[in-house]
A and B are shown apart, each in its own frame.
Chain A
Amino acid sequence: MTRTGAARTRPAARRAAGLVAALAATLAMGGCGVTDAVVGIHAAPAEDRSVAAVDQDNAQRIAARVLGAAQSAQAKTGTDAATALEAALTGAALAVGQAAVATHSASATAPDPLTNPGAPKVLAVSQGRTWPRAILAATLDETANRQYLHVLVSSSPTDPFRLAYTVPMHAGASIPSLGTLADGAPLVPASDATGLVAAPQDLLAEYAGALAYPKAQSAPTIPPTDPFARSLLANAQSQTASLGKLGSLAEKQSVVADDTISFRLADGGAVTFGLLKRVDTITLAKSAKELKLPSAYARLSGKKTVTKSVTVVSLEPVVLVIPTSGTATAVGGDEQLVSVAGH
């Protein structure tokens, strides 16, 4: 009897145990123990802050917008031009743009790279999520078969990108790889010489010294053999020859320090955009009675002739490639007349 009773109770216990196990499994799978994984919920991925500040599509869109706005601003005149320029340009480009608008009717010494900028191609975006941020883009003027480099800068989170540099590249010049757009290119502080033959600000100062006339300073790190430097020297020599014994020409360059922007290249070097200010001074000899100014200069200075001297101020945005060893090279440069003063 006892054996029979035990035999009859075991199946019921097993059924109950089985059901409890099934219940437990059910609870674990889809009941009170519903896990995030079962319904596809996971933790949000962490933000990677060491990538390009702006993705490629947006950088392209921003570059097209900013270059279009800059082109539109430079086509305006008067107060409209001033407002539009300040909205679209900043730094070196603003200084050059304002000078271009102010001297437009008097001179056309500088080319207008934004007249027909073409579709911009983004070459690099600054790396990281801090400010300032910068975008390096290039356009090709197919008419003149000339390539232009543009730097767009956003100085703070609420400050939209504005054009900081537009510089024509020298014929045949090129810029080494800046790495992938997605990774971004770190910005190099102007005083940082890490891994470079010279800090950007020091190299710009050396280049400026090398462009001085008639006494150029030694520039072993960046010999002034590029087309822009050679053109400046040729013009200075031509002017000196024209003046003859009636006067002398002196040219002095200085770096506008606040406007330097540098991107780190993939090979560890850097490409630097800097702004130089050139002051040309023509001093008349005592034997000269007066010097008749060209009409463009006369309009800017308000004088048709000068008896002592004439001072011409120009701005020169330049692009230098700084290697990790060897000598640096200038790959782009331009000049824009700013003012003329006669005495």
Chain B
Amino acid sequence: MSRTAAKVVGVVLALLGLVLTGAGSWFAAHLGGTGTATFAAHPGSTAVLVVGPSVLDRVDGPVRVTATGTKGTAVWVGLAAPSDATAVLGSAERDTVVGVSIRDWRAVTHHSGSGAAQGLTTADVWRTEASGTGTATLTVRQADAPQTLVVAGSGGTLQTVTLSWVHKAWFVQAIVTVLVGLALLAGGALLLWPRADDDDDDGASAGASRLGVAA
């Protein structure tokens, strides 16, 4: 019975080890040596894209934002206090990033509002701004958190907005996960490996059982 339990545990450990090794390897491959997690949103519309503090300010590290529009689009990125950004946007049409999906490395958006945002780029609420034709990049520091990021495009549509978090520990954790997975896999294999005393052990157990019945 105890040998059977050990084999069951061995199977569980081996399976878990496989899962952790696979997951760790997958994360390590995506994060790279710098531990950079990049998520992309694909608005494909003229609405502004908004990233609030519930997404932007969750990790103690910089977030690099790169916005790309269709050819010739004047792309603008601004960073403001959350209440300021809300006040400036009013009820304007927007795609709000509400979370990220690790499965496909996608920024999950929610569409709301109506009408174009007015006076967006001339408002004096932006702590940092970046602009360019076709693309614009801005790095968000956490020193001024919380903050809301707004991306707008004029003369075209926003195609892709990528959010990249750099957290070196993530790569290390992925590697540790791989190593733990391999260790569990090895442990499971050891438990499952046939041993010389397997027959004796079974015999002893059977003998004990028989003795018990005899008593």
Q: Taking beta carbons and an 8 Å cutoff, which residues of A are in contact with B?
A: 1-2, 4-6, 8-9, 12-13, 15-16, 19-20, 22-23, 26-27, 29-31, 38-47, 49, 54-55, 58, 62, 129, 131, 154, 157-161
Contact = CB atoms under 8 A, between A and B. Distances in A.
B171 to A, nearest CB: 11
Contacts of A158: 88, 118-120, 122-123
14 contacts: A8-B201, A12-B6, A16-B2, A16-B6, A23-B16, A30-B180, A44-B53, A44-B56, A47-B53, A129-B83, A157-B88, A157-B123, A158-B88, A158-B122
Contacts of B16: 23, 26-27, 31
A159 B119 contact: yes
Interface size class of B (residues with CB under 8 A): 35 or more
B53 to A, nearest CB: 4
Given A16-B5, A46-B146, A40 B88 contact: no
B16 to A, nearest CB: 7
A141 B201 CA distance: 100
B84 interface: yes
A159 B125 CA distance: 10
Nearest to B209: A5
B184 A26 contact: yes
A45 B173 contact: no
Nearest to B119: A158
B192 interface: no
Contacts of A46: 146
Given A5-B205, A8-B201, A160 B84 contact: no
B114 interface: no
Contacts of A16: 2, 5-6, 9, 191
Contact of A38 (B61, B123, B125, B173): B173
B145 A45 contact: yes
B208 A41 contact: no
